[in-house]
Structure 1
Amino acid sequence: MCGITGWVSYRRNLTHEQATIDAMTQTMACRGPDAAGTWSEPHVALGHRRLAVIDLPGGAQPMRVSTPDGDVVMVYSGEAYNFTELRDELSDQEFFSDSDTEVVLRGYLRWGPAVADRLNGMYAFAIWDGRTQELVMIRDRMGIKPFYFYPTADGVLFGSEPKAIFANPLPKRVVDVNGLRELFGLVKTPRNAIWRGMQEVEPGTIVTVSENGIKTRTYWRLEAKPHKDSVEDTVLNVRDLLDDIVRRQLIADVPRCVLLSGGLDSSAITAIAADQLNEPVRSFAVDFVGQEENFQPDELRGTPDSPYVHDVADYVKTDHTDIVLDHNALSDPELRRKVITARDMPLGFGDTDASLYLLFKAIRGQSTVALSGESADEVFGGYKQFHDPVIQQADFFPWLLLARDMRRESSLTPELEKALDLRTYLNDNYRSAVAEVDRVDGEDEFTHRMRVMSYLHLTRFVRTLLDRKDRMSMAVGLEVRVPFCDHRLVEYVYNTPWSMKTYDGREKSLLRGAVKDALPQSVVQRVKSPYPSTQDPLYAADIERQANELPADHPVFSLIDRKVLSGAHRYTVERILSFATWLDIYQPEVVF
């Protein structure tokens, strides 16, 4: 895993801009603590920071291959899990390293941008093709790895994170109405970044920059296809896919581990990994001081995680470590600054962003690669909203309907609420998303409706969680892999009818059936519970005090109504502190 950045200009001589490309590259140091490199010629400058995971001595970047018609140079972030098979297909070429990076580069030399169709993995990479004087940017199918670009008058800036782009003097830090809608809407709109003029390379797309402009082509999207397998065969196929996916994602030349929460998803990955390794798998879980004593069940979290974590660790015999956090660590303003700097935006998930950062920081002392159970709920339909009859039929984003009080709107100042008109914006966004969903011939209305719900989660919700996981982990130099985002599994389960996904009358029936032989019954039967959040009242008191200490004229109160602080829900207090810290760090020009 790495950090990439670059600058293309068809009017400047970028060999004179070394200081700027160095500054852009340096912003990615946390993503790549092991090595740094830059490369330039008149119309392009590329920068790379490396986290060495495969072929530690080799794999240096930017990686260049010279041809008679010009150099082809790549900066690459991510992993191609099928690189050994692709290398076999390219056996007629002479390789100078054992890295997956070189396989991707030589694949481009053989197949051009169509190399993307052959990749299995998580990746964001840019290739300068000196033969055509074009930049080709490619992002993985699910959007696991972040990738941003900023068109300029004569080219483009790009980076793994916005901070790399902002290290160049050309863009301005402006957030307008559309950016604020992204921040407050809790829906990930394809292509949109929060910063004016900046875009994301959309998952599953290829963006080509030339002297004639910028062109985008989709190489992958979720498509509706008939599912012909029986329930029994479907369960077996899911298990076979998971076995193959985990086997591929365990490949690394550095220490590996799994993230274990005690839920079905992470436990499944842990059990399969333990079965495939010739040594005890390392597992890590986050917990909080006094969590079991303070725990109060609610409509989302019925039980604390710790007992189930230890059931799994004992059952599959992992080398387990609990990372236990207290309220002082979670509410620390300096930690909040680090987390917001890592994300380049205000936090959307309260203390869970902070606890993820601290968990990953602790893990990084022992492992460099971690496997996560992220995205199983989107793939298999595990969230509560998938099973609510009212939400199933509602014409709106399901996860927003689950929070029926819509707190994020009521906390805004009247001026901002009027300017954003979030309800209209979200309704338009919803209709646009639904229009993208294909239909299988003969599909009944309910089955199609559940397909729509799956599509919404896989294209408008999970990307926010994937971005959070990437930013929090890469901020401390930890590579987190997400087996449930393998596109083969996503495609297969997406096209499995809802009746099969719930064949035993419960959530995530297919996954439960596929791994029930590998897990303790306590976990097999456990009801879905989200990522843990501290219930320590001292944490709530800490952040409430900090919010009340903000000056009355702080810019945050031009966005969020100060009046809501009185008796505010913890979520609102966290949001106020998050936005205030973001405004202090980035000092954006906010326009609405």
Structure 2
Amino acid sequence: MCGIAGLFHPQTPKPVDPARVAAMADALAHRGPDGSGVWTAPGVGLGHRRLSIIDVEGSPQPMQTQDGALTVIFNGEIYNFAELRRELAGRGAHFRTQGDTEVLLHGWAAWGPALLDRLNGMFAFALYDARDQSLFLARDRMGVKPLHYVELSDGAIAFASELKGLLAHPLLRRTPDIRAVEDFLAFGYVPDDTCMVAGVKKLPAGHFLHLHRGRSMPRPQRWWDVDFSRRARGSARALEEELVHHLREAVRSRMVADVPVGAFLSGGVDSSAVVALMAEASPRAALTCTIGFDEAGHDERAHAALVAERFATEHRTRVVAADDFALIDTLVHAFDEPFADASALATYRVCELARETVTVALSGDGADEALAGYRRYRFHAAEERVRGLLPATMRESVFGTLGAAYPKADWAPRPLRAKTTLLALARGGGEAYARAVGVTTPELRAALFTPAARSALGGHRAEDRYVEAMRDAPAREPLDRAQYADFQHWLPGDILTKSDRTSMAVSLEAREPLLDHRLVEFSATLPASMRLRGGQGKWLMKKSLERYLPREILYRPKMGFVTPVSAWFRGALAGEAAALAGSRRLLDTGWFDPVVLRRLADEHRSGRAEHGRTLWQFLMLERSLGRLFG
């Protein structure tokens, strides 16, 4: 795992200052504390920070071919690099190192952009081809590894793994983009198709950008997409065996490293499956780690211990206090942009614990998206069945009227919270699902924004990207469409951003075997009934794992990392909630109505309403504005 940064002049090959490239790369030192390198030529400069995982003593970057025609910098891992090395050697390639980086150089020489289709891995890389003076930027299929880029005032294209790499360049104009604020308040993260700093872009997952000197700036090109429109054939038993095969291969391929490898173990299905398959593949005890909480309702240590004992892992735990909010400023620095998924605190702590003994840790991320594990998928599928029974006009009239009249009851047991469901049924499926994955509703955002801010948005609305993704999805059923939209937005914007930034903040490489593209592609072809059945998400995966894991692990209610932010704002952070309404950082933007902010804080602290997640968003936004714009 590494950090990459660089500059490319697409029109005139102006000199590139190595010190400027080094400064951009050094801003990413946490991603690569084991080494650094800078290479420049007329009109181009590449910088690298290295975390040594494979070929620890070799494979320095930037790396060139022997004739100097190709130069590459690379962040990530190519899990099938040994297979590709053999194929390329058979074509006459001569390798000077033992790692995976050199595969990119010889692979480009052999196949050009088609190289991407052959790669199984997580990656973001930049490759300069002196023969046609082009720069090729590419990002892996799922978006596990990030890549930001921007056009500077001198015409150069600057790029970096994280926004802070671009912030190190003096020509970057730091102007906030209010559309990103709208998106952040809607979802709790800044999606990959926008950025808090105006003009900065993120290369989308499964895309590449090919820049040629003397040509205009092209649009990113998609080179991979998940397809939910096809269906696998075969009996449940046969599909189960095929799924287990993909799971095994995904885990085994991600255990290859020249440094210690471990796993996060929450005691949930996904991480437990990874640990079970690690134990099966290794003659040595797997290294596992778990974060526990000092509140019983949030603590999964007992379940994790059960799995650790079953597979005889070397298991370590650490207890985190439920009021562990001292990490706020650490997270603001790690994420650059505001990020309000509060589980990032616990994720950071488990990465911190893992890094004490390993350099690589396998996680269980991705199965919920690939195999329909989230409860919201079940709700969406049920709502869509109801929508199919009535014309849209009747739905809007009947359910809209009932929803408007039904009292809001955040305090009530879930079956009695009918208002949200009724209003969802009155809307189209895409709109309803976009709201289901959101945090702060469009109505509350409209109340929070000033008239000037609403005007500046120019009609931009965060939910529209979900509506469009679901409408245009290569899909057959409503469940397919919801999963596809999450692959486009939620997975890279929230889940993988959280994993990348928290792990890299402590110089740990996190690998996601359950996002192996072969596993994802197969899962997308499963009939919906094998992903979601009888109210049980990940149905076929759980059935296939009965040979490995006890039922009390497989079929217990999903917990996940729960951070009690609502309680914090009625306790230790009550003062922070009250102060938000008077924050100069927020008010000086001219975006927010302080009266509405104060009302939210007062209602929440008194218990009259539930606004904990929105207040957490504003706290993280306030801190991030200070970091990004002063």
Q: Is the pair's TM-score, using the shorter chain for normalization, greater than 0.5?
A: yes
CA root-mean-square deviation:
2.5
- Distance in 1, Cα, partners of 2:55 & 2:63: 14
Query: Is 1:470–2:500 an aligned residue pair?
Result: yes
- Pairs within 5 Å for 1:216-231: 216-223=220-227, 224-231=229-236
- Pairs within 5 Å for 1:253-292: 253-289=258-294, 291-292=295-296
Match of 2:300 among 284, 301, 305: 305
Write the letter of the residue equivalent to 2:211: V
- Distance in 2, Cα, partners of 1:535 & 1:346: 16
Please state whether the residue corresponding to 1:347 is helix, strand or coil.
coil
Identity of aligned residues (%): 29
- Distance in 2, Cα, partners of 1:411 & 1:251: 52
- Give how far 1:397 is off: 5.6
- Give how far 1:342 is off: 0.9
Please state whether the residue corresponding to 2:205 is helix, strand or coil.
coil
Match of 1:448 among 477, 481, 496: 477
The aligned counterpart of 2:237 is 232
Match of 1:566 among 587, 602, 612: 602
Write the letter of the residue equivalent to 1:455: Y
- Give how far 1:524 is off: 1.5
The aligned counterpart of 1:390 is 383
Query: Is 1:502–2:532 an aligned residue pair?
Result: yes
The aligned counterpart of 1:376 is 367
- Give how far 1:423 is off: 9.0
Please state whether the residue corresponding to 1:278 is helix, strand or coil.
coil
- Give how far 1:49 is off: 0.2
Contact 2:362 2:513 in 1 (8 A): yes
Query: Is 1:85–2:121 an aligned residue pair?
Result: no
- Give how far 1:542 is off: 2.0
Please state whether the residue corresponding to 1:532 is helix, strand or coil.
coil
The aligned counterpart of 2:417 is none
| Deviations 1:325-380 (CA, angstroms, capped at 9, x unpaired) | 1256x222xx3222111111112212x22222222122211111000011111111
Please state whether the residue corresponding to 1:175 is helix, strand or coil.
coil
| Deviations 1:475-524 (CA, angstroms, capped at 9, x unpaired) | 11000001111111111111212112235652111110121111122102
Change (3 A) 1:8 1:123: same
Change (3 A) 1:485 1:97: same
- Distance in 2, Cα, partners of 1:28 & 1:124: 14
Change (3 A) 1:579 1:510: same
The aligned counterpart of 1:25 is 25
- Give how far 1:264 is off: 0.7
The aligned counterpart of 1:341 is 333
- Give how far 1:461 is off: 1.0
Change (3 A) 1:264 1:540: farther
Query: Is 1:460–2:486 an aligned residue pair?
Result: no
- Distance in 2, Cα, partners of 1:460 & 1:200: 12
Contact 2:363 2:512 in 1 (8 A): yes
Q: Which moved more, 1:126-135 or 1:190-199?
A: 190-199
Contact 1:385 1:399 in 2 (8 A): no
Contact 2:240 2:540 in 1 (8 A): yes
Write the letter of the residue equivalent to 1:205: H
Query: Is 1:315–2:310 an aligned residue pair?
Result: yes
Q: Which moved more, 1:223-232 or 1:365-374?
A: 223-232
- Distance in 2, Cα, partners of 1:537 & 1:218: 43
Change (3 A) 1:541 1:213: same
TM-score scaled by length of structure 1: 0.90
Change (3 A) 1:128 1:515: same
- Give how far 1:537 is off: 5.0
- Pairs within 5 Å for 1:12-161: 15=15, 17-67=17-67, 71-91=69-89, 92-152=92-152, 154-161=155-162
- Distance in 2, Cα, partners of 1:172 & 1:500: 50
- Distance in 2, Cα, partners of 1:74 & 1:559: 43
Q: Which moved more, 1:416-425 or 1:47-56?
A: 416-425
The aligned counterpart of 2:573 is 543
The aligned counterpart of 1:438 is 474
Please state whether the residue corresponding to 2:31 is helix, strand or coil.
coil
- Distance in 2, Cα, partners of 1:137 & 1:475: 23
Contact 1:188 1:461 in 2 (8 A): no
The aligned counterpart of 2:608 is none
Change (3 A) 1:540 1:23: farther
- Distance in 2, Cα, partners of 1:144 & 1:181: 24
Write the letter of the residue equivalent to 1:220: W
- Distance in 1, Cα, partners of 2:48 & 2:95: 21
Query: Is 1:162–2:167 an aligned residue pair?
Result: no
- Distance in 1, Cα, partners of 2:45 & 2:5: 9
Q: Which moved more, 1:277-286 or 1:576-585?
A: 576-585
- Distance in 1, Cα, partners of 2:300 & 2:435: 25
Contact 2:148 2:159 in 1 (8 A): yes
Please state whether the residue corresponding to 1:542 is helix, strand or coil.
coil
Change (3 A) 1:178 1:491: same
| Deviations 1:139-184 (CA, angstroms, capped at 9, x unpaired) | 1001110011112463411010111112112221112232223322
The aligned counterpart of 2:435 is 400
Change (3 A) 1:499 1:202: same
Contact 2:578 2:602 in 1 (8 A): no
- Distance in 2, Cα, partners of 1:203 & 1:18: 29
Change (3 A) 1:355 1:539: farther
Match of 2:256 among 225, 236, 251: 251
Q: Which runs of 5+ in 2 are unaligned?
A: 388-428, 605-610
The aligned counterpart of 2:358 is 367
Contact 1:327 1:538 in 2 (8 A): no
Contact 1:15 1:45 in 2 (8 A): no
TM-score scaled by length of structure 2: 0.84
- Distance in 1, Cα, partners of 2:377 & 2:581: 42
Change (3 A) 1:509 1:156: same
- Give how far 1:465 is off: 1.0
Match of 1:429 among 455, 458, 465: 465
Q: Which runs of 5+ in 1 are unaligned?
A: 296-302, 440-446
Contact 1:5 1:159 in 2 (8 A): yes
- Distance in 1, Cα, partners of 2:580 & 2:431: 35
- Distance in 1, Cα, partners of 2:242 & 2:217: 41
- Distance in 1, Cα, partners of 2:315 & 2:159: 39
